[in-house]
Amino acid sequence: MAPGWQAHIIGVTVRVGAYALLVLGGLMLFSQLLVWFGGYLVSSAVGVFLAGTIANALAMRIFERTHLTEIGLIWTPASVRNLLLGLAGGAGAALVVLAGPLAVGAASFEAIPKGAFDWRTLLFVSVVLLFGAIGEEMMFRGYGFQALIGILGPVATVLAVGVLFGLAHLSNLNISKVGVVNTMLWGVLFGFAFLRSGDLWLPIGLHFGWNWILPLFGVNLSGFTMDVTGYVMSWKIGPLWSGGNYGPEGGLLTTGVLLLLSLFLWKAPIVRQVPFLLRPRAEE
């Protein structure tokens, strides 16, 4: 291995390590502050958003002398297309997992006592989920992820960060073994989406599309319960398939749909963009 390449690996390792410390510090700070104001859901989603935004902004400014948007957040016509494709894929996958069982009688809707639809609750939950999706994608597919691709390669990076993404959800309520595996698979899928698009808009769309549909059907999202419509979805099949109290992400139905979603990403007319950290050095 050439001395120059060794120095490059050491440099990237130091920068990724510093980025990880910024992320962890931000999570500790904002999660503690926000839980007093908005509870666990707001603390988790908005805390991740703030930690991811600040860590990426500082890393890009200090190490790369450029702006936060260069991690794959530049807004172009291609970005709009990729975001819409992601929203369609994520929402479509959720509809397959939930509407399918309803159609065949494997699940049904039940009214929540004293529950009722409130558009203000829907708006609040939607905004919180959007912050959470953007924050997690910046955190796990942002600076650290993109820097590691340069030394580990795309496949190893996607797999490693996908596993880390799943392990990061171990503290969620009602987590199960299938839930951990599925969350890792989601992490791999989001990484693959980034590789296909070269931006964060495609994985953000996938992430938010899936997360937004689940509460509308009255099921838990990664262990979180959100009363949005005044109804819950009651399953007539076991938790191995439905996901139980963790939500559909803890069931084998989601495992199967993830395979279909990966085919969608492979075939979809995604427009490829090139983020700053993955450009040839001569272009920087």
Q: What pLDDT, in 10s, does the model give residues 76-114?
A: 999 999 999 999 999 999 999 999 999 999 999 998 887
Q: In this structure, what token pair is assigned to residue 115? A: 């529950």
Q: How far apart are CA 65 and CA 168, in angstroms?
A: 30
108: enclosing H helix or E strand: strand 107-111
* 145 pLDDT more than 50: yes
Q: How far apart are CA 127 and CA 255, in angstroms?
A: 27
* 284 pLDDT more than 50: no
Q: What angle do CA 157, 203, 87 make, to 5 degrees?
A: 160
Q: What angle do CA 250, 122, 26 make, to 5 degrees?
A: 65
pTM: 0.94
Residue with tokens 């991740």: 48
> What are the DSSP calls for 188-233, one per residue?
HHHHHHHHHHSSSHHHHHHHHHHHHHHHHTT--BTTB---SSSEEE
Q: How far apart are CA 177 and CA 199, in angstroms?
A: 31
pLDDT at res. 168:
93
**pLDDT above 70 covers what percent of the chain?**
97
| 8 Å CB contact between 176 and 250 | yes
- Amino acid type, 6: Q
Distance between alpha carbon 221 and the CA centroid of its chain, in Å?
Answer: 12
| 8 Å CB contact between 214 and 248 | yes
